[in-house]
Structure 1
Amino acid sequence: MVPHLTRLLELWRIAAHYRLDTLIPADELPAKARPILKLIRANPAAWSSREKRNPLKLKQALEDMGPLAIKMGQLLSTRRDLIAPEILSQLTLLQDQVKPFAVDVAKARISDAFKADLNTLFQRFDEQPLAAASIAQVHTAALHDGREVVVKVTRPEIRKQILRDFEILTWLGGWLEQRLEAARALHISEIIQEYRAVILNELDLSIEADNTRRMRHYFTGSSMMYVPEVYMDSTDVMVAERITGVPISDTATFDRLGMDRADLAEKGLTIFFTQVFRDNFFHADMHPGNVFVETLNPQSPRYIALDCAIMGELSKADQMTVARMLLAVMNSDFMQLIQIVHQAGWIPPDTDQDGLAREMRRTVGPMVSKPMDQLDFAGILLQIMDIARRFRLEIPPQLMLLLKTLVHVEGLGTDLYPQLDIWKLAKPILTEWVKQQMNPAKNLKELGQQIPDLLLGAQDLPSMLIDSVNGLKNQAVWHDRQIRELQTLRLQVAQQQRRNWIFGSIFIFLLSLAMITPIFIGIIFYILAALVAIWRVMN
């Protein structure tokens, strides 16, 4: 049964009320998607709606639909190459200009979080929100020692809304996996559950505070990025250092201040690869509302990392696989690419590897030879997904967050400096990282660091062997007992079948005599009664 049918009807009503069917002409949509427009128009809310000409109807509709819809809008807001300007202008507002909640509610949540009055916590608290997004809103304030801060407060009742919508997504993911091979290959249900965990973690601002401190530690003293200091935190509130800067999308300010946009784009890409490979801790929600640039020193600007709620990490094996795959693509060695994918266990053993290599060369090859402004990264990604479906590739869910981040990074890079040669910059970084991982001295050093753990584990080896032998012995005894019980049960069943056959034969014989002559009826009655009594005793 469809979960939360009432919620689905509500989403249908919102789409109809804001006339989302009028956003894109029907002839610009794929044929299979056009029935959606008819479905929206069929709702009675569309018949009397006056929102058809509302220039902010998409933004307001996504706000009414809730946090997950806003998150989707934020992701799409980075794709200036795919989204029409009039739609993009609405989605951009979702980065930090979502409808705020009441300031009295925010004040109450802050006081409850820190068990103190606002006057005790702050010298000044500004009631007008500085920004409002899908999960929380931000107010400016000052501590009693004069430090300027921002106070981030989560929205009330948001957890309940997100859990409800994820139940619908979970059902939809299962429904797709039952019907589409591509959905099964991509592990849609697992991806939804992982994203659910990520979003629920984002609701806990103490996790974001810990992530921010960790990121700040990695980039302490960096000339490329600055991470604000966190002063206070709880589950629902975080108080952090206020920074001065502009969003990464504010290219007009960069030009006005004379910033080198090419240098800024290269810094951003270097930061991304540093996070993924050096730190194995990357920002996975890089829309323009979360990535700022300092304006205090236009000649050598730094990035400012905000909203470290959604962070990604890869296993060592996945790190090495991703690095080797990227290097294979940069070298146009697609047979090597397929071998790496095969070694990672992502393709079935009977796959036509030559055919797969040809498809990857045709699809991915243009990525190396063209500048970013001529690439349709999202389109290439969709083609790769189609190849994964046709060749039954198993794409690990833990890499989907990295792919989502790559979509963000590529979108931001295209906007900032379209001529950026991503491969020329990335190749030396990846080559050096792979060399370091393959360095025998480094591997011996890591092995040496593990020796104490190995020695401690060796002390437990005899008892583990004894436990294993005893386990096997007990298992053998249990199997013998099970076999004896099965043999006894089979003997009892055979005896019962013989008794049933004997008594059944006697019953049929006596019954046939009774049918021949009535004189035997009384005798047969007593015989049958005696037989029933004997049968009950024997059973």
Structure 2
Amino acid sequence: MSRIARLSIIFYTAWRFNLFGLICDNLKPGVRKTLLGLLSSTSPSQLARGERIRLALEALGPIFVKFGQVLSTRRDLLPDDVSNELAKLQDQVPPFSNEQSKAIIEAALGQPIEHTFSLFDATPVASASVAQVHFGVLRETDSHPEWANQEVAIKVLRPGILPVIESDLALMHDLACIVEKISEDGRRLKPREVVAEFDSYLHDELDLMREAANASQLRRNFADSDKLMIPEMIWDLCYTNVIVMERMYGISIGKTKELRAAGVDFKKLAVDGVEIFFTQVFEYGFFHADMHPGNILVSLDPKTFGRYISLDFGIVGNLSEFDKNYLAQNFLAFFNRDYRRVAELHIESGWVPENTRLEELEGAVRTVCEPYFDRPLKDISLGIVLMRLFQTSRRFKVEIQPQLTLLQKTLLNVEGLGRQLDPDLDLWKTAKPILERWVSQQLGWRGLVDGLKTEAPNWAKILPTLPRLLAESLERSSRKDSRPELDLLKQLLFEERRKRRQLWGSLLFLGGFLLGALFVLARIHSI
């Protein structure tokens, strides 16, 4: 479809669902407002604005639906009614043909499908905008005898998806520029930045090798866990458009009746889910960021009964040590009603302008947080608190980082899921020990020792070179501080005394440093 034809469809859809009225409301009086007002008045849709936006995105197809899903995570930018409506978007896409799927797999493998799989189910078990999934059974080969009768899941990238995505993304960028130019509110919502963020997410999902690597990292992080299972990737059968992984058996966490009938302990399941999430975030800084019920199963196998199974790793979040420290201290300060510390953390993070008045920000944070302490802790939504803090930060011109909005979206999912399983779930009681332990490990004596262990190899290289470096420094200083106006004898005496003082000072410093280093190494060795 040509770009002009696609743009015409977008224009018609915007008129049909009266999106022009939303833009018109944010324009100053003038020709643009008059024209858009006329278009709006002829639109057949008079629904609430959030519902109109959601229906328009659904009508425009899977790429726009996925954009709406990503946009729903930006609660720091959107009104609550729009965010809540966009969160309802479901990406149900008809599967592509069995022949296409089989041809893509054979092209990736470089051989007929029967040579690799003793059984291949051509009917997909799941289909989305980017890929679909089939089940199969591997065939034993000379190089891989362990493949014999191994049940697997095969994920196949949708054919021809890249040109469609590129075309729609180009139109989204153009529309974002238009909205930003003609609408004051549009400039505040930063549509170009949001589209760029979506562009990045979507292109990451198009590389299935990236998804396989994400899964492998999560599996390694939870290798010894008795709470979470991640499918193993069959690396010899993984490509950019096809990946093959271990098949996992379980029931979707959304099927609560079936899980209850099977005897699953919902209270334990809820607590385990919270612990898994906070462990991913604060211990590893690497978390599964698409945790809706379709991607989460619960094992009913007697050996792994009640464990979580995670699927679909196209979207993951990464947090730096700075991000983790910022979040952990924010949560703990909130729990202790230390609003001044919350305000200090916002300023220390560098995301609030340096000239922000601490007392003013502290008062704003208190206004957000204090109402929650009239409720039992189990009734406090950590995700909502984080969202409100982000919204407050916007008032102080803070630039919210994409990784934190992704975290907030995932936290809301986890929290909602946990309370669906156990309405009495006390998120603070579950999460606080994890946060306190992490802060202790990072900021306490254990954190110091761990840091020294990490830096020990670097210091082992640096220590032997210190005498030479000090000598070179003294020589440079001597040359720099020479006094040509003194006679030769006075100059020699002056330089000799100065060198002697510097040498003794350097030796004392070096001796103290070496003693300290020996003490630290002895301490590390004894741990």
TM-score over 0.5 for the alignment? yes
Q: CA deviation at 1:89?
A: 12
Assess if the C-alpha contact under 8 Å between 1:371 and 1:419 holds in 2.
no
Three-state SS of the structure 1 residue aligned to 2:96 is coil
Aligned letter for 2:169? F
Which residue is 1:504 aligned to?
A: none
Which protein has the larger Cα radius of gyration, Structure 1 or Structure 2? 1
- What is the distance in 1 between the residues matched to 2:38 and 2:243? 45
User: Are positions 1:222 and 2:217 aligned together?
Assistant: no
Assess if the C-alpha contact under 8 Å between 1:330 and 1:368 holds in 2.
no
Q: CA deviation at 1:350?
A: 2.6
Assess if the C-alpha contact under 8 Å between 2:251 and 2:259 holds in 1.
no
Three-state SS of the structure 1 residue aligned to 2:424 is coil
Aligned letter for 1:113? A
Which residue is 2:248 aligned to?
A: 243
User: Are positions 1:417 and 2:422 aligned together?
Assistant: yes
Amino-acid identity (%): 34
Choose 174-183 or 348-357, whichever is displaced more: 174-183
Q: Deviations over 1:98-129 (max 9, x none)?
A: 21111111111101111111011100111111
User: Are positions 1:11 and 2:10 aligned together?
Assistant: yes
Which residue is 2:349 aligned to?
A: 344
Give the 3 Å change call, closer, same or farther, for CA 39–414 of structure 1 in structure 2.
farther
Q: Deviations over 1:379-420 (max 9, x none)?
A: 666644442232222323332221222232233234332321
Aligned letter for 2:331? L
Give the 3 Å change call, closer, same or farther, for CA 372–128 of structure 1 in structure 2.
farther
Query: Of the candidates 67, 75, 84, which is equivalent to residue 63 of structure 2?
Result: 67
Q: CA deviation at 1:252?
A: 1.6
Aligned letter for 2:344? Q
Q: Deviations over 1:21-66 (max 9, x none)?
A: 79xxx9xx99959x999968957xx79xxxxxxxxxx889727512
Which residue is 2:131 aligned to?
A: 136
Give the 3 Å change call, closer, same or farther, for CA 445–187 of structure 1 in structure 2.
farther
Q: CA deviation at 1:455?
A: 6.2
User: Are positions 1:115 and 2:110 aligned together?
Assistant: yes
Alignment of 1:286-365 (within 5 A): 286-297=291-302, 300-365=305-370
Q: Deviations over 1:242-269 (max 9, x none)?
A: 1111222111222222322221111101
Paired residues, what number?
437
Alignment of 1:4-403 (within 5 A): 6-14=5-13, 32=25, 42=42, 62=58, 65-70=61-66, 72-73=68-69, 91-92=89-90, 94=91, 97-144=92-139, 145-171=148-174, 173=176, 189-190=192-193, 192-231=195-234, 232-297=237-302, 300-367=305-372, 370=375, 383-403=388-408
Give the 3 Å change call, closer, same or farther, for CA 111–448 of structure 1 in structure 2.
same
- What is the distance in 2 between the residues matched to 1:116 and 1:303? 35
Three-state SS of the structure 1 residue aligned to 2:132 is strand
Aligned letter for 1:230? M
Choose 304-313 or 294-303, whichever is displaced more: 294-303
Give the 3 Å change call, closer, same or farther, for CA 161–309 of structure 1 in structure 2.
same
- What is the distance in 1 between the residues matched to 2:59 and 2:124? 17
Three-state SS of the structure 2 residue aligned to 1:230 is coil
Aligned letter for 1:119? E
Which residue is 1:480 aligned to?
A: none
- What is the distance in 1 between the residues matched to 2:177 and 2:393? 19
- What is the distance in 2 between the residues matched to 1:8 and 1:351? 44
Superposition CA RMSD, Å = 4.2
Structure 1 gaps of 5+ residues are 48-57, 470-539
Assess if the C-alpha contact under 8 Å between 2:340 and 2:362 holds in 1.
yes
Three-state SS of the structure 2 residue aligned to 1:150 is strand
- What is the distance in 2 between the residues matched to 1:433 and 1:185? 36
Which residue is 1:51 aligned to?
A: none
Assess if the C-alpha contact under 8 Å between 1:59 and 1:90 holds in 2.
no
Assess if the C-alpha contact under 8 Å between 2:227 and 2:276 holds in 1.
yes
Structure 2 gaps of 5+ residues are 27-32, 46-53, 140-147, 477-527
- What is the distance in 1 between the residues matched to 2:184 and 2:366? 23
Q: CA deviation at 1:237?
A: 0.6
Three-state SS of the structure 2 residue aligned to 1:400 is helix
Choose 448-457 or 103-112, whichever is displaced more: 448-457
Three-state SS of the structure 1 residue aligned to 2:201 is helix
Three-state SS of the structure 1 residue aligned to 2:433 is helix
Q: Deviations over 1:428-455 (max 9, x none)?
A: 1100100001133442443343243456
- What is the distance in 2 between the residues matched to 1:196 and 1:180? 22
